[in-house]
Amino acid sequence: MSLDHILAIAQKPGLFKIVTQTRGGFIAESLLDRKRISVNMRSNVSLLSEIAIYTLTEEVPLKEVFQKIKEKENGNVTSIGHKESKDKLEEYFFSILPDYDEDRVYPSDIKKVIRWYNILQSNALLEVLDTDDKAHSDEEE
């Protein structure tokens, strides 16, 4: 499974994976509790593969940010929780992405990235980052 099949749904906690498509939307399964929900086309849905973090020079895809966290944490959960203070969250994020744009990346965004990383890690989905990179490098050759 790639990040193309993992999504965040507005007003719903955690992350979801797409199970199947329906006539008016799709069925998604929560990575937190495995409950399935029906999502219609009007819902505000974001695929993780399409999310990027602003830096001072460019936008860094979320996949690359997750990869940097994975390298820093040796594939384990983050050393800080998503409920830490604003200062601790920003300090941690600077160690991951030193040139992130402080004016456009809010503490709430940092909390989401850390929470999402930990959800992916607890569901053994971080290998997606490695397989996506490998597939991408195979395409370039």
- pLDDT digit of tens for each residue in the chain (141 aa)? 678 889 999 989 999 999 999 998 999 999 999 999 999 988 899 999 999 999 999 999 999 999 999 999 998 999 999 999 999 999 999 999 999 999 999 999 999 999 999 999 999 888 866 655 554 444 444
Stretch(es) of the chain classified as CATH 2.30.30:
3-48
Q: What is the fold of 51-140?
A: Arc Repressor Mutant, subunit A (1.10.10)
- Residue 56 CA, chain-centre distance (Å), reads 20
44: helix, coil or strand? coil
CATH 1.10.10.1650 domain extents, the chain? 51-140
Note the pLDDT of residue 140.
Answer: 43
b (16+ CB within 10 A) / e for 33-47: eeeeeebeeebebee
What contacts 66, CB < 8 A, 6 or more positions away?
113, 116, 117, 120, 126, 129
Write the CATH number of the domain with boundaries 3-48. 2.30.30
